[in-house]
A and B are shown apart, each in its own frame.
Chain A
Amino acid sequence: MTAEAMTKRELPQGVGTLTPGWLGFFAVAIIVVLTGLLAYANQLNQGLVVTGLRDLGTVRGAPWSLYVAFDVYFVGVSFAGISTAALIRLFNIEKLKSVARMAELLTVVALLLAALAIMADLGQPLRGIVNLFRYGRPQSPFFGTFALVIAGYLFASLAYLYITSRQDAARLAERPSRLRGLYRVWATGYEDTPAQRHRDRHVTFWLALAILPLLITAHSSLGFVFGLQVGRPGWFGSLQAPAFVVMAGVSGIGHLIILAALVRSALRADRRINLDVFAWLGRLLLVLVFTYLYFTVVEVLTTIYQASAAEQGLSDALLTGRYAWIFWGSIATLLAAAAVLGWMTLTRFWSVGWSVFAGIFVNVAAVGKRYLIVVPSQTHGQLLPYGTGSYSPTWVEFVIIAGLFALGALMIGGFMKIFPIMPMEEGE
């Protein structure tokens, strides 16, 4: 193909073109984001009293609730994105290369949403940020989570996404389009030479190697935020950190499957995002689901075998009491997903629809399990002689969380309109 023919071609993968369907999607997402912003403005103006958050003890409430549950959930989703991308680079898994960039993007978006979810939980967000950096104790798992997850992990993911997309940016900068200036800046003088390709392979390999232990540490430190609190039955335990890592993998791979199916459908990319991709991700998800179910069984057996009175009370609330429907609902959805994935693994008949079903179900379970980690230990896990508490989210919290999801969809959709979500092929 001549250089002239190259420059005359349109941008690939629907980049730069807005169809009525996309416009409708953006309109709905923007409306939901704005509604969430209005709800947040209301919360900021009137205080956290408009939410269901209340103090522990005499007020019998839960100061950590839906926002913290979704913070943990979003951080979990971020895990699979960059870990999948890193594994693809480290082990050169050709079949998954088409979803590498969307995995990297998923990580960046999920981490931003996690940061915003925790901001929503703070009555004075600015004071929280400033004091964290001014007085933060690096030994604290709170600081570890913010420094490693938000600073290190997010920045490493952004660096990874940037380095792996420069080649495509340089190719796009050769074509006339309204986005050409952006691509030139993005490419930063990239020249597609063998030396540059060698450097990119080299640096992405080492970055991937650095990211994997970083993300295990980051997710473990988030688990330690709960697992090191000795005075809170249900939280204190050595299984929290590994369980956080495994559940993070479950929700993240589930999300990646859903995103891959949506991109496949939107871009009609059946050839590039083929059934092999879903088979790889599905088998990985199945292993993680079984591991998490094993952790859950161990945790429940340990709790009910010879628990203290406080642990027993919490266990009753989870297994047969107020939170039983969420607990058993989460287990049922995990089992349903495991059954579907197991059946597809055994028969080797992989279906996009059933994979998405499993992805949705594991994410429903992940939200449920995150809620159960955060809330019941505060309402039913008292070592001091306070009565049993309660927590019910208000519409403000639901609308803000919906706004965060819409913002995530908007960021991913927006990215797809300015840059190819799949690495470009030769001649594309």
Chain B
Amino acid sequence: MRLIITILMVLAGLTLMAVSYFRLAAPWCATSVSCSDPTLPWAASLVVLGILIAISASIFYTVYRGDE
């Protein structure tokens, strides 16, 4: 269970980072003003949230006591 949840946390964090980076944040273009606006406001904070979830997996792995 410990390992499964840890892997899920890492995958969830990486997925959130990837989705918010490539789909929700400002698009990869420089042809108009709309390229500067994020598709979803606060998408940048979702990238950070993804990083925090992925790193938190390490704390969960060592602190979780359910298997014992």
> Which residues of A line the B interface, CB within 8 A?
132-139, 143, 147-148, 151-152, 155-156, 159-160, 162-163, 166, 188-189, 195-196, 199-200, 202-203, 206-207, 210
Which residues of the other chain, B, contact A160 by a CB distance below 8 angstroms? 58
A-B contact count (CB 8 A): 77
Given known contacts A137-B25, A137-B36, A155-B52, A143 and B44 CB-to-CB distance under 8 angstroms? yes
CA distance A138 to B43 in the complex (A): 9
Per-residue interface assignment for chain B, residues 33 to 48, with 1 indicating a CB less than 8 Å from any chain A CB and 0 otherwise: 0001110011111011
Complex: how many Å from CA A206 to CA B45?
25
Task: Given A138-B21, A138-B25, A139-B28, answer yes or no on A133-B44 (Cβ-Cβ < 8 Å).
Answer: yes
Whether a CB of chain A sits under 8 angstroms from the CB of B62 is: yes
Please tell me if the beta carbons of A147 and B55 are within 8 angstroms of each other in the complex. no
How far is A203 from B36 in the complex, measured between Cα atoms in Å? 39
| Nearest Cβ on chain B to A149's Cβ, whole angstroms | 11
Contact between chains at B55 and A159 (CB < 8 Å): yes
Of the residues A139, A199, A210, contact of B62 by C-beta under 8 Å: A199
Nearest A residue to B48 by beta-carbon distance? Answer: A151
Q: Is the CB of B26 within 8 A of A203?
A: no
Mostly helix, strand, loop or mixed at chain B's interface? Answer: helix
Give the residues in chain B near A133, CB-CB below 8 Å.
42, 44-45, 48
The one of B28, B61, B65 that contacts A189, using a Cβ cutoff of 8 Å: B65
Given contacts A134-B41, A137-B36, A138-B44, is CB(A203)–CB(B51) below 8 Å?
no
A151, B51: Cβ atoms under 8 Å?
yes
Task: Give chain B's interface residue range (CB within 8 Å of chain A).
Answer: 20 to 34
Instruction: Please judge, given known A-B contacts A152-B55, A163-B58, A207-B58, whether A135 and B63 are in contact too, CB under 8 Å.
Output: no
- Chain B residues with CB under 8 Å of A207's CB are 55, 58
B65 to chain A, nearest CB (A): 6
* Chain A residues closer than 8 Å to B4, beta-carbon distance: none
A135 contact set on B, CB distance < 8 A: 26, 36-38, 41, 44
CB of A203 within 8 A of CB of B62, answer yes
A-B contact sample (19 more), CB < 8 A, given A137-B26, A138-B25, A159-B58:
A132-B44, A134-B41, A134-B42, A135-B38, A136-B25, A137-B36, A138-B43, A138-B44, A148-B51, A151-B51, A152-B51, A155-B51, A155-B52, A188-B63, A189-B63, A199-B62, A202-B61, A203-B62, A207-B58
B-side contacts of A143, CB under 8 Å: 44
Inter-subunit contact B56/A159 (CB<8 Å): yes
- B25's nearest neighbour on chain A, judged by CB, is A138
Some 15 contacts from A to B, beta carbons below 8 A apart, are: A132-B44, A133-B45, A134-B41, A135-B36, A137-B26, A137-B38, A138-B44, A139-B28, A147-B51, A148-B51, A159-B56, A162-B59, A163-B58, A195-B68, A207-B55
Rounded to whole Å, the gap between the CB of B12 and the closest CB of chain A is 16
B52 lies within 8 A of A139 (CB):
no
Q: Are A166 and B62 in contact (CB under 8 A)?
A: yes
Residue in contact with A151 in the complex, picked from B28, B38, B52, CB distance below 8 Å = B52
Query: For the complex, what is the distance from the CA of A162 to the CA of B36, rounded to whole Å?
Result: 38
User: What are the 3 closest A-B residue pairs judged by CB atoms, nearest first?
Assistant: A136-B44, A133-B45, A152-B51
Residue numbers in B under 8 Å from A138 (CB-CB): 20-21, 25-26, 43-44, 47
Interface centre among A136, A138, A206 (most CB of B within 10 A): A138
| Residue from B44, B56, B63, B68 in contact with A137 in the complex, judged by beta carbons closer than 8 Å | B44
CA distance A136 to B48 in the complex (A): 11
Chain A residues whose C-beta falls within 8 Å of the C-beta of B42 in the assembled complex: 133-134
Min CB distance, A164 to chain B, in Å? 10
CA of A162 to CA of B62 in the docked complex: distance in angstroms? 10
The residues of B that contact A155 with a CB separation of less than 8 Å are: 51-52, 55
Cβ A199 vs Cβ B61 within 8 A: yes
Asked, given contacts A134-B42, A135-B44, whether A163 binds B51 with beta carbons under 8 Å apart, the answer is no
A223–chain B nearest beta-carbon distance, Å: 20
Complex Cα distance A110/B16, Å? 28
A90 CB → nearest B CB, Å: 15
Most buried by A among B25, B44, B63, B65: B44
| Measured CA separation A160–B62 after assembly (Å) | 11
Min Cβ gap A78→B in Å is 16
Residues of chain B contacted by A137 (CB below 8 angstroms): 25-26, 36, 38, 44
